[in-house]
């Protein structure tokens, strides 16, 4: 790459970093068309360079296509324009780190169960059904609060018929396929009630 071209891309990369890291709207992330307007038609290339740069920092540029459907072929400009771009972690978090970013183990486990359940129910489940599932291992008073929290954060959406769906944050942050696969692969243990696990070595003591 020539020195001048390199300079142009470095400046575009900086602009893209500002746009992606700082929240511009109510929801985080930037739409493709916004990036095109700010960086030019070659914004996918700029994002590619940025993604490569972020690799060493264990971060990535994540693309979430509209309607949560990933195009089978190389995405078209129209598909990219309507997609939303985020910066997310590239690798795994350790359980200790989750506490650092403000999540309790109970809340996160509840979220995992809720998401897995909704996926298995074809993307929607009755709130009562999920509450029943969560109350098997969480105290009753916490179940409703947790579900409201997941909705507030954008992981879930609830409609007027009390049906729960996966919302924008789940689509941006969770690899649904990987979650289901690792859940099915996990070793089955004897059922442990919520109370009995209290004595386990916990992170949320």
Partner 1 sequence: MQSRKDHKRLGKEKLQRIIEMCAAVENRTVDPFLLEVDDLIRVVKEYFPNWEETNELNLDSEAIHHLASVIKLQSEWVKHCSTSLYTDPFLLEEKISNVNKNELLNVFLKAWRPLIELEQLSMTIIAAAMRYWNNLVPIMERWQDLDVQEVAIGITNREELVKSRVLQKQFFSDELNNYWKELKKKADKNGKDGKLLYWDFIGATTYEETVERAYLTSFLLTYGYATLEIHPLEEEIFIKPFKKSHKDILTQQSISIPISVTYENWEKWKRGELD
Taken in order 168, 117, 177, 200, is the CA torsion positive or negative?
Answer: positive
- The least CB distance from residue 79 to partner 1, in Å, is 20
Is 117 a binding residue for partner 1 by CB under 8 A? The answer is yes
Q: Are 127 and 91 in contact (CB under 8 A)?
A: no
Is 105 a binding residue for partner 1 by CB under 8 A? The answer is yes
Q: Are 127 and 163 in contact (CB under 8 A)?
A: yes
Is 84 a binding residue for partner 1 by CB under 8 A? The answer is no
Is 68 a binding residue for partner 1 by CB under 8 A? The answer is no
What Cα–Cα distance (Å) separates residue 177 from each residue in 115, 119, 167, 169? 11, 9, 16, 16
CB-nearer residue toward partner 1: 41 or 178: 178
Name which position in 14, 48, 120, 148 contacts partner 1 (CB under 8 A).
120
Q: Are 87 and 21 in contact (CB under 8 A)?
A: yes
Distance CA 98, CA 103 (A): 6
Positions in the binding site for partner 1 (CB under 8 A): 21-23, 28-29, 59-60, 62, 86-90, 92-95, 98, 101, 105-106, 108-109, 111-113, 116-117, 119-122, 124, 126, 133, 136-137, 161, 163, 169, 172-180, 182-184, 186-192, 194, 197, 200, 202
């Amino acid at each position: 790459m020539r020195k001048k071209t390199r300079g142009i891309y470095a400046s575009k990369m900086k602009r893209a970093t500002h746009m992606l890291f700082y929240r511009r709207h109510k929801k985080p992330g930037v739409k493709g068309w916004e990036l095109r307007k700010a960086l030019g038609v070659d914004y996918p290339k700029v994002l590619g360079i940025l993604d490569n740069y972020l690799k060493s920092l264990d971060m990535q540029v994540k693309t979430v296509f509209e309607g949560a459907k990933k195009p089978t072929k190389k995405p078209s400009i129209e598909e990219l324009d309507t997609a939303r771009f985020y910066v997310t972690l590239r690798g795994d978090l350790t359980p200790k780190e989750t506490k650092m970013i403000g999540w309790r183990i109970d809340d996160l486990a509840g979220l995992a169960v809720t998401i897995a359940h909704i996926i298995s129910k074809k993307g929607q489940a009755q709130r009562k059904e999920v509450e029943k599932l969560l109350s098997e291992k969480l105290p009753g008073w916490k179940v409703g609060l947790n579900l409201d929290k997941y909705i507030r954060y954008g992981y879930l959406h609830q409609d007027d018929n009390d049906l729960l769906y996966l919302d924008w944050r789940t689509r941006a942050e969770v690899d649904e396929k990987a979650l289901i696969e690792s859940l099915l692969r996990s070793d089955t243990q004897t059922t442990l009630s919520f109370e009995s696990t209290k004595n386990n070595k916990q992170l949320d003591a």
